[in-house]
Chain A
Amino acid sequence: MKSFKSIGMVLILLLVSAFLFAGGKAETEKAESAEKITLTMLEYQDVTDESEVGTWKVLLETFYEENPNVELKIDTLFDEAYHNKLQAMLVADQLPDIMFLWPGKRTGQITSSGKIKDLRPWLKGYENDFADIAIAPQGPNGEIWELPEQVTATHVMYTNERLLNELGLTYPKTLDELIGQGKKIRDAGYIPIAMDNGGGWQMQSCLLSALVERTGGMDWLERAMIGKAKFTDPEFVNSLEVIDVLAKNQMFSPGINQAQYGQALTDFVNEKAVYFIDGGWRVTSLVSELAEEQKSYVKLNVFPEVPNTRGQRGSTAAVAGTGYGMHAKLEGAKAEAAWKWIWHYSGPVGSKIRQAEGAVPAYNLEVPADTDILVKRLTEFTSNVPAGYVLDAKLSQEGMGVLQPALQEMIFGNKTPQQVAQEYENWVAKNEPTRK
């Protein structure tokens, strides 16, 4: 009888406590759900890139830890699919609350639609925390549509110094010296300059833009954009001639215009190429692909001096990086929550996370001593090398659809630099919005 009593007591206690806890939990849930803010997000990510996926996971986890009341409904897409969906959403007036944007022309249609919020009011007071180029105006009235995650140098001439030493060569100071090295490098079975231009944009973005800065400069390009200078001017033709000379002297990877993006990187990682021209973003891949010993002899340089330099000597081309922006319709708590994500991603927390993975953030951070040597070199490169404009960030995509194939034809030997320049100028004069 006594045991029945005690069992009864235990059961009653269990029931009471269960009710109490259940009630408590329900109360908490109620409170949480009352404050919960749900935001839709269109995210740009290559889900086949393991390092990118890993970084993203950490970024999300840290965000949710700091902001448990914000829920992000994320839709992930990459490359063309991302742009197509974003464009369709814009036309249907269904843009998400937060979306990944480009500072230049790539998402110019979206940012100029009036449906993206200017981030300057939130950014006020933090401007000096970012690299100058990162917070350069993105809109016609100085608007900042997205907070750049990094500063992107689109031209870096990665150099395998071990191969250079093996061949008894040093880094060339001039274009002629570089071309002079070609035969020796090819005879030894190596590729002088690994580059892939199957997509067409690589030559324009990663080499031509830097060359235009050398032979023309930012001032000339600004004038060409508004019609006060022409793309048939020597400033532009001279930059094309450099590429033409390199192609004629077999300096590039064989089949450069057939090669898909990534092939040149593979050749460089496998030490089949002495030089490799690509963007600064390739450091992330090199950090994970190269062995520690290889990293010690991979240096980051800029293209050697070219004839007829009128712009900045020894310069690269750079652009403020991509980042997240928010829908103009967001107000109050929702806008605050969206800003929290944007700041988390491109501010100190997100920047530190990405820095550890090899990125050079737009947010000014000290480089920790244990940072990968290549990341340190890229940080140094970005800080010290003068930079000009990237063509496809300044001029329209459709125009690039004329210039880039013409460049490919020039590399094949089917067009002269003058013809390429004339073809592009004809298109720009007729269609480029800045010329109208």
Chain B
Amino acid sequence: MTVKGTRKLSFATLTIPAVLIYTSVIIFPIIFNIGLSFTKWSGLGTPQWVWFDQYRRILGDPVFWHGLRNNLLIVAVSVFGQIPLGFILAYIIYRRMVTAGRFFEVMIFLPITIAPVVVAILWNQIFSPAGIVTELVRIIRNDPRYVFKIFENKQLAILPILFVIIWMYTGLYMVIYIANLQKINPELLESATIDGASEGQILVRVIIPLMVHIIFTTTIFAVTGSLKSFDLIWAFTQGGPAHYTEVIAIYMYLNTFRYYNYGLGGAISMVIILLSIIIILLTLFVYKHFEKKYE
């Protein structure tokens, strides 16, 4: 066998198993799901071809639109809440603007180490009608029937969950930013200081341009993570009451696994993928703009 032939054989031997595994666990399910989304199938028998009926059904369902609205709020809170907050906290600790920075770093990071189900139960214990805070407010107001009405308002019920999401995930972004800030050459910052740059100028002119790439990467994480958020909300409210805190992933789960509408479930997951792609492309557009600016 020639050297070229041997190389080809080695290449094939080394890559084919990985390609096969990847195809069977990633590519095949995606293609299968695309096909499934055009059918009506309860999990038994032959799927019935219905073309775009499932998509039409999703678009005509107010529960989906409310779930989408909640998802977009989570995306907004993640991108415009967790990321700036995580960056600011990382900057404060990195520039040693507080004493005991290490302590704060650990404290802020701590929530991410707790399982989402535990976090949900914990916050539920605090704010539920039998929760500690609710009981306290009842005593203060002398109203034994007091409950937090925010959970019973269709537009506002998602807010406590958004707060918990910020509380839980900000630490993750902070740690990523600290790790990247530490990679910046200290001499660069010293030079800027010697040249008379203020703290604000150092941040805007030196640090942010160097961090654009990682901010973009974390934004992608935040967007994709937000669109598939499920566990925390499921353990918190199961999307209730009356779908008020439902997100698209819960909408998909209920239709697929509780009501056995696999076709509809497939179509919902396609919508989630499409939304992710649109938002990521949007982020990429913004990133390109900033990249050019700082080049």
CB within 8 Å for A260 and B261 given contacts A109-B43, A409-B242 = no
Contacts of A48 in B (CB 8 A): none
A30 to chain B, nearest CB (A): 43
A412 contacts B by Cβ under 8 Å: yes
**Closest chain A residue to B259 by CB distance?**
A398
Please tell me if the beta carbons of B128 and A260 are within 8 angstroms of each other in the complex. Answer: yes
CB within 8 Å for A255 and B147 given contacts A91-B43, A200-B240, A263-B130 = yes
B42 contacts A by Cβ under 8 Å: yes
Please tell me if the beta carbons of B145 and A397 are within 8 angstroms of each other in the complex. Answer: no
Contacts of B237 in A (CB 8 A): 198
> Digit string of A79-111 for contact with B (CB within 8 Å is 1, else 0)?
010011001001100000000000000000100
**Closest chain A residue to B255 by CB distance?**
A398
B260 contacts A by Cβ under 8 Å: yes
Contacts of A198 in B (CB 8 A): 237-238, 240-241
**Closest chain A residue to B151 by CB distance?**
A258
CB within 8 Å for A87 and B43 given contacts A200-B241, A257-B241, A401-B254 = yes
Q: Point out the residue from A113, A259, A397, A398 that lies within 8 Å of B130, measured CB to CB.
A: A259
CB within 8 Å for A412 and B152 given contacts A257-B240, A263-B129, A401-B258 = yes
Contacts of A83 in B (CB 8 A): 257-258
B270 to chain A, nearest CB (A): 20
A199 contacts B by Cβ under 8 Å: yes
CB within 8 Å for A408 and B144 given contacts A90-B44, A91-B44, A253-B129 = no
Within 8 A of B (CB), among A256-312: 256-260, 263, 266-267
Contacts of A80 in B (CB 8 A): 257-258
B125 to chain A, nearest CB (A): 10
Please tell me if the beta carbons of B258 and A397 are within 8 angstroms of each other in the complex. Answer: yes
Please tell me if the beta carbons of B241 and A405 are within 8 angstroms of each other in the complex. Answer: yes
Contacts of A412 in B (CB 8 A): 152, 241-242
Please tell me if the beta carbons of B42 and A254 are within 8 angstroms of each other in the complex. Answer: no
Please tell me if the beta carbons of B44 and A113 are within 8 angstroms of each other in the complex. Answer: yes
B69 contacts A by Cβ under 8 Å: no
Please tell me if the beta carbons of A250 and B145 are within 8 angstroms of each other in the complex. Answer: yes
Contacts of A405 in B (CB 8 A): 240-243
Question: CA–CA, A100 to B240, complex, Å?
Answer: 28
Count class of interface residues, chain A: 35 or more
Contacts of B229 in A (CB 8 A): none
Please tell me if the beta carbons of B259 and A84 are within 8 angstroms of each other in the complex. Answer: no
Count class of interface residues, chain B: 20 to 34
Please tell me if the beta carbons of B43 and A260 are within 8 angstroms of each other in the complex. Answer: no
> Digit string of A28-64 for contact with B (CB within 8 Å is 1, else 0)?
0000000000000000000000000000000000000
Please tell me if the beta carbons of B128 and A259 are within 8 angstroms of each other in the complex. Answer: yes
Question: CA–CA, A46 to B139, complex, Å?
Answer: 35
Contacts of A406 in B (CB 8 A): 242
Question: CA–CA, A109 to B256, complex, Å?
Answer: 13
B283 contacts A by Cβ under 8 Å: no
Within 8 A of A (CB), among B256-293: 257-261
Please tell me if the beta carbons of B145 and A257 are within 8 angstroms of each other in the complex. Answer: no
Question: CA–CA, A119 to B259, complex, Å?
Answer: 27
Question: CA–CA, A200 to B151, complex, Å?
Answer: 15
B25 to chain A, nearest CB (A): 15
**Closest chain B residue to A402 by CB distance?**
B63
A141 contacts B by Cβ under 8 Å: no
Please tell me if the beta carbons of B241 and A87 are within 8 angstroms of each other in the complex. Answer: no
B33 contacts A by Cβ under 8 Å: no
Q: Point out the residue from A253, A257, A263 that lies within 8 Å of B242, measured CB to CB.
A: A257
A125 contacts B by Cβ under 8 Å: no
Q: Point out the residue from A189, A260, A397 that lies within 8 Å of B259, measured CB to CB.
A: A397
Question: CA–CA, A199 to B238, complex, Å?
Answer: 8
B8 contacts A by Cβ under 8 Å: no
B124 contacts A by Cβ under 8 Å: yes
Within 8 A of A (CB), among B224-245: 237-238, 240-243
B262 to chain A, nearest CB (A): 8
Within 8 A of B (CB), among A373-417: 396-398, 401, 405-406, 408-409, 412, 414
Interface centre among B124, B129, B151, B240 (most CB of A within 10 A): B129
Q: Point out the residue from B154, B238, B258, B260 that lies within 8 Å of A414, measured CB to CB.
A: B154
**Closest chain B residue to A256 by CB distance?**
B129
**Closest chain A residue to B234 by CB distance?**
A80
B146 contacts A by Cβ under 8 Å: yes
A267 to chain B, nearest CB (A): 8
Question: CA–CA, A405 to B254, complex, Å?
Answer: 13
**Closest chain A residue to B241 by CB distance?**
A257
> Digit string of B106-147 for contact with A (CB within 8 Å is 1, else 0)?
000000000000000000100011100010000000001111
Question: CA–CA, A230 to B44, complex, Å?
Answer: 30
Contacts of B130 in A (CB 8 A): 259, 263, 266-267
Q: Point out the residue from A90, A250, A258 that lies within 8 Å of B241, measured CB to CB.
A: A258
B41 to chain A, nearest CB (A): 10
Question: CA–CA, A84 to B259, complex, Å?
Answer: 11
Question: CA–CA, A398 to B128, complex, Å?
Answer: 27
Please tell me if the beta carbons of B241 and A408 are within 8 angstroms of each other in the complex. Answer: yes
Question: CA–CA, A287 to B241, complex, Å?
Answer: 31
> Digit string of B143-161 for contact with A (CB within 8 Å is 1, else 0)?
0111110011010000000
Please tell me if the beta carbons of A109 and B129 are within 8 angstroms of each other in the complex. Answer: no
A186 contacts B by Cβ under 8 Å: yes
Interface centre among A189, A406, A412 (most CB of B within 10 A): A412
Question: CA–CA, A255 to B131, complex, Å?
Answer: 11
Question: CA–CA, A199 to B129, complex, Å?
Answer: 14
Question: CA–CA, A189 to B238, complex, Å?
Answer: 31
> 18 A–B contact pairs at CB < 8 A?
A90-B44, A109-B43, A199-B240, A200-B240, A250-B145, A253-B129, A254-B146, A255-B152, A257-B152, A257-B241, A259-B128, A259-B129, A263-B130, A396-B259, A408-B240, A408-B241, A412-B242, A414-B242
* A109-B43, A198-B237, A256-B129 known, 7 other contacts, Cβ within 8 Å: A80-B257, A199-B240, A254-B129, A255-B152, A257-B242, A258-B148, A263-B129
- Give me the 6 closest cross-chain CB pairs, A-B, nearest first: A255-B129, A255-B147, A398-B259, A257-B241, A254-B145, A405-B242
